[in-house]
Amino acid sequence: MSLPVADYIDRAAISGKPVKHKWSQSAAMVALGSDNTAVERKFGAISFRGLLSLAASQAEWIHARFLHLDADQELAYLIDAVWAASIDFRYLKSEMLQFTGDDTNAVHGPIQECKRLLRRITEIYLKVDYGIVRYERSLGSLTNYVLPDTKAFQAWLKRVTAALPPLSTPSAAASGKLDVAKKKTQPRGVVDGIWGNPIPREALDPAFDPKAADWAQLIDELLQAIYTTGNPFLRSPAELAPLGMSGKPYRYSKS
């Protein structure tokens, strides 16, 4: 993984712990949880870009939980790509998000389910569909299900869910009410801001002070850390040129 494990996840000491949860088709349904209007309303106060960042961060908890227990590099690559997509969706090579293979055991099964949830979240994100909050809630439920101890994750999720809304606007609840005509990766006649402004990865750290940070620099550093020619879910600079991306690929400027 090009991005290191976040400090707040590392401090939770969840990596490589023995697996005690069960996994089967029925267990997967339990792990994804059921509708929770209160939780989904809180997610709805976050922008679409913020929700994509939150999805990447929740997936980081799952990746870290199974670190040293599974050699699957695909989830790590996908997390990086979702982070990039939260800044500019054109970075994500959506057509590559096809996940098959063994999903029956208690380690690889949740990893595969996490990938499928990220795929669905990115699909709904592009449609500016408020239904994204249900998949965010399912991803949180899955994360909670597989962790050896849930206290640190629950405290983190509660805190960042409250902290994110003012950092990126408009909210998904507001944007999701708009009737947006889609054309490939860019809605017609709608400014890019419908998804909210990009946020740095550090914004998901409860210790982050948004007022003391240079956001443009942090986002630029994130893109540089993400870019690798080996990631199958990221477009190359040559592939990005025909999509109308201005400026240098995998660099960010607030101007």
pLDDT, tens digit, for every residue of 72-116?
889 999 999 999 999 999 999 999 998 876 677 899 999 999 999
Residue 185: pLDDT over 80? no
Helices (H), 127-214: 132-146, 151-163, 172-175
How high is the mean pLDDT of the chain? 90
Indicate whether 66 belongs to any domain: yes
Indicate whether 250 belongs to any domain: no
> Mean pLDDT, to the nearest integer, of 233-248?
89
pLDDT at position 183 is 46
Indicate whether 248 belongs to any domain: no
Given a contact cutoff of 8 angstroms between Cβ atoms, the answer to whether 222 and 201 are in contact is yes
> Mean pLDDT, to the nearest integer, of 24-45?
92
Structure tokens at 184: 């490939």
> Mean pLDDT, to the nearest integer, of 174-185?
67
Q: What is the pLDDT of residues 201-236, one digit of tens each?
A: 999 999 999 999 999 999 999 999 999 878 999 999
Indicate whether 2 belongs to any domain: no
Q: Tell me, what amino acid is at 181?
A: A
Indicate whether 251 belongs to any domain: no
Q: What is the DSSP letter of 199?
A: -
Indicate whether 252 belongs to any domain: no
Indicate whether 143 belongs to any domain: yes
What stretch of H or E contains 38? helix 37-44
Distance CA 194, CA 172 (A): 9
Indicate whether 254 belongs to any domain: no
Residue 184: pLDDT over 70? no
- How many domains does the structure of the chain reveal? 1
Distance CA 109, CA 92 (A): 24
Full domain range(s) for residue 44: 7-243
Residue 158: pLDDT over 90? yes
Question: Comparing 17-26, 46-55, 117-126, 184-193, which segment has the lowest mean pLDDT?
Answer: 184-193
Structure tokens at 3: 């991005």
